[in-house]
């Protein structure tokens, strides 16, 4: 369990540094494809990190994935709690590293790479979008990395999961 938690902590720390750091460096730049760049950075980061730590922890790198695996009976309750705590602490560590790396006036997001719901969208629309995105991620994890019927294609699981992000 210690190796699993350490792996999730390290992966989440790096995920926040690279994903949010990418947003901090280019967000809202005129003429840039910044949304595409940041999306690609997050997706590729998941692909690389899940490939790197998957053999230690399963490569959850997301509290929703950990919860989904718990509900699906793939992990136990104590393991889920420990992994989620490791992910949360890793997230805070990643944000701490970013706050040391980026001067406030250079953070183009103004908030360590965090995002907010655009005022043009309703809160219900935002919740629905978050639900659908999380569903896609969890469905992809269950069907590519967990389902015994897809074991032959497991080598591609991390890439496919990264694309779903």
Give the pLDDT band of residue 58 (cuts 50, 70, 90).
very high
* Mean pLDDT, range 27-45, rounded to an integer: 90
What is the four-CA torsion angle of 142, 143, 144, 148, rounded to 10 degrees? 90
Helix (H, G, I), strand (E, B) or coil at 107: coil
Residue with tokens 């935002």: 126
24: pLDDT strictly greater than 90: yes
Distance of CA 14 to the CA centre of its chain: 10
- Which residues, 6 or more positions from 102, have their beta carbon under 8 angstroms from its beta carbon? 21, 24, 25, 112
Please give the average per-residue pLDDT across 127-147, as a whole number.
Answer: 96
Query: Model's pTM, two decimal places?
Result: 0.91
Range scoring the smallest mean pLDDT among 62-71, 73-82, 112-121, 146-155:
112-121
Burial track 142-153 (b if 16+ CB lie within 10 A, e otherwise): bebbbeeeeeee
The CA distance from 37 to 40, in Å, is: 5
Inter-helix orientation angle 2-26/34-57, to 10°: 170
Q: What is the largest CA-CA distance in the chain?
A: 51
Cα–Cα distance between 21 and 97 in angstroms, integer? 10
Taking the CB of residue 155, how many other CB atoms lie within 10 A of it?
9
């Amino acid at each position: 369990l210690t190796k699993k938690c350490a792996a999730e902590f390290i992966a989440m720390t790096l995920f926040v540094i690279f994903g949010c750091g990418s947003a901090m460096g280019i967000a809202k730049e005129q003429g840039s494809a910044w949304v595409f760049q940041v999306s690609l950075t997050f997706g590729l980061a998941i692909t690389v990190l899940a490939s790197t730590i998957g053999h230690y922890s399963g490569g959850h790198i997301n509290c929703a994935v950990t919860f989904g695996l718990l509900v699906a009976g793939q992990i136990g309750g104590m393991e889920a709690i420990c992994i989620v705590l490791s992910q949360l602490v890793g997230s805070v560590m990643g944000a701490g590293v970013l706050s040391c790396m980026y001067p406030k006036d250079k953070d183009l997001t103004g908030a360590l790479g965090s995002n907010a719901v655009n005022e043009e969208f309703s809160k219900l629309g935002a919740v629905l979008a978050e639900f659908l995105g999380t569903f896609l991620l969890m469905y992809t994890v269950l069907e590519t990395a967990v389902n015994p019927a897809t074991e032959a294609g497991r080598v591609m699981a991390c890439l496919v999961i990264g694309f779903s992000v």
